[in-house]
Amino acid sequence: MSIQQLTPAICSEIIAKDSRTQCIDVREPYEYELGNIGFVNIPMGETPMISEQFDKEKQTIILCRSGKRAEAVANLLLTEYNFTSIIIVEGGITAWKESIDETIQLD
């Protein structure tokens, strides 16, 4: 059972190589609607829904705006819901925008 923080570039590679990777954006719906990268949107306050809808055994990538909410959700999924492999996108969608896709709207 582990949590890793990886750069957007490495996360992007993982997603490209393994279509079974679960990708979750824990920002609020209004943030997600402004700009997103196609992850499933389940706001941080609805973390229990993640445990019901996703496979605890599969690799799961968590994204928020900066990485803070993703870290909190990752810790909860690991300790309370027994997820086995969680990756946090380091720097969140802000870093993703800077390093991968400048067209993402955040504000």
> pTM for the full model?
0.95
Classify domain 2-99 at the CATH class level. alpha beta
pLDDT at residue number 2: 85
Q: Domain limits of the chain?
A: 2-99
Cβ(34)–Cβ(105) below 8 Å: yes
What is the C-alpha separation between 12 and 92, in angstroms, rounded?
12
Residue 50, C-beta contacts closer than 8 angstroms, at least 6 positions apart: 24, 42, 73, 77, 81
Whether pLDDT at 74 is above 90: yes
The predicted-structure confidence for 34-60, as pLDDT tens digits, reads as follows 999 999 999 999 999 999 999 999 999
